[in-house]
Structure 1
Amino acid sequence: MTQPAQITRIKTARRTEIRRENERVILDAAERVFAEAGFGGATMQLIADMAGLPKANLHYYFPTKEALYRRVVQQIFEIWLDAASSFDGADDPATGIGGYIDAKMEISRSHPHGSKVWAAEVMQGAPVIQDYLETTLKDWTDGRIAVIQGWIDQGKMSPINPRHLLYMLWATTQHYADFGHQIETLNHGTPLNEQQWREAKASVKSIILRGIGAT
């Protein structure tokens, strides 16, 4: 016989599951709307329509459009941070940077709208997330620069400027999201297939790793 405490746990777990699913649906819809309309052109109603949920549901989880926008930006950045885990514990740049390129390009493939939201925000001077750039992004960048400089000091790669290497990695990998339409157009009007993605990742890794003397 089911006990009251067990029933309560089941109900709590179910509510948590529903909340997570609703947040996922809202964030996916918001990514697309913000990418297509920008922060100024997006409305909570547009996002609700895209998510297939009542507008009241959006305000329940995210009280303002800015709160939702910041969460979208935070989500893509956290996904990028996870991609950088390849740096942690890597003994050499071929492993660390090569793994980072693989992960970032997969993110461009799976979260193109989030990348476009980030790019549009930064190109406009980061009016909403400037504080995020000055704190979280700066700290992350400084940490990765230290790792790359360590490889340089150990003679495992060419003595290049780590900061500009990071800028190149971001620009190259995120190009496949931010300029996806251009790539699709040049690919006879169709998205890259699985084989083409493997070739793209292999090419980018080869060009960059050879260029920094890490192969």
Structure 2
Amino acid sequence: MTKNKASEGNIRQKNKAIIFNAAKQEFVTYGFKGASIKRIAERASIARANIHYYFQDKTDLYQQLLSNIIEVWNRDYDTLNVNHEPKQALSAYIRAKVMHSKDDPDSSRIFASELIHGAPVLNDYLNSDFKEWLKSKVAVIQNWIDNGLIDNVNPHHLLFLIWSSTQHYADFSVQVVAALDKEAMNDDDFEEVVSSLTQIILKGCGIH
């Protein structure tokens, strides 16, 4: 790759990241139907034409945003590996999920909203790449079970539990802070979430 092409690629990546961040705020606030390219451009402080340079329309932007969210999640959550010791792997997985709820709650809310509405955009993904990814993680957990490293729990339900408990702090943050009588959660609060969920889940798997 030439220097100019590399530079162009970096600029493209940077600009798309700016647009994605603005789009997250817009989609969380107004949903897919209510969101507008005009407001996304205003949020990103760029010309509307610049968005259309990278994305055909609002649907294309939404689809690419969801793909980006999934790509980041799958990359950052890849601690469930057959070569990893279950205590360390599950602990790292739980921490990564909680920290994404802390640092990027909008991604979780957009993903949750897509599923709640029947996954019209993600339906193909859920029935193809997602199933293959999930199958590989279930196999890792089953291998741990077969080797007596964790209790005989259902791998699917273990993953569902981790997803739901960690993403709760993003998707239902309004309820959480009300229940905790706080205006917002701070770093110490999230560390306590990591500690509590890790202890509960690991003990539930027979890991001490």
Q: Note whether the superposition's TM-score is higher than 0.5.
A: yes
In 1, are the aligned partners of 2:98 and 2:167 still within 8 Å (CA)? Answer: yes
Equivalent residue number for residue 207 of structure 1: 200
Q: Is the 8 A contact 2:81 2:89 kept in 1?
A: yes
Aligned runs of 1:69-80 on 2, under 5 Å? Answer: 69-80=62-73
Of 151, 159, 170, the residue aligned with 1:158 is 151
Give the aligned length.
Answer: 207
Query: Which residue number in structure 2 is paired with residue 5 of structure 1?
Result: none
Range with greater deviation from structure 2 (181-190 or 150-159) = 181-190
CA contact (8 A) 1:145 1:163 kept: yes
Given the alignment, which residue of 6, 9, 15 partners 1:22?
A: 15
Secondary structure of residue in 2 paired with 1:185: helix
CA distance in 1, matches of 2:72, 2:194: 18
Partner of 1:135: 128
In the alignment, which residue of structure 2 is the partner of 1:51? Answer: 44
Q: Aligned residue for 1:172?
A: 165
8 Å Cα contact 1:101/1:169 also seen in 2: yes
Paired residue for 1:63?
56
1:70 and 1:115 mapped to 2: Cα distance? 15
Distance 1:12 1:148 in 2: 42
Residue 117 of structure 1 pairs with residue 102 of structure 2? no
Distance 1:12 1:96 in 2: 38
Match of 2:176 among 166, 183, 189: 183
Unaligned runs of 5+ in 1: 1-7
Unaligned runs of 5+ in 2: none
What is residue 3 of structure 1 aligned with on the other side? none
Bigger Cα Rg: 1
Task: Tell me which amino acid in the other structure corresponds to 1:94.
Answer: K
Q: Could you state the TM-score of these two structures normalised by the residue count of structure 1?
A: 0.90
CA RMSD in angstroms comes to 1.6
TM-score by length of 2: 0.93
**Deviation at 1:87?**
1.3
Using the TM superposition, give the Cα deviation of residue 14 of structure 1 relative to its aligned residue in structure 2, in angstroms: 4.0
Q: Distance in 1 between matches of 2:103 and 2:71?
A: 14
SS at match of 1:63: coil
Deviation per CA, 1:83-136, whole angstroms, max 9, x where unpaired? Answer: 322112543321111110011111111111011011001011111110011112
Whether the 8 Å contact between 2:82 and 2:140 is mirrored in structure 1 is no
> Aligned to 1:192, what secondary structure does the other structure show?
coil
- State the distance in 2 between where 1:183 and 1:16 align: 40
How far 1:188 moved relative to its partner?
Answer: 3.1
Mapped partners of 2:166, 2:46: distance in 1: 33
Deviates more, 1:187-196 or 1:160-169: 187-196
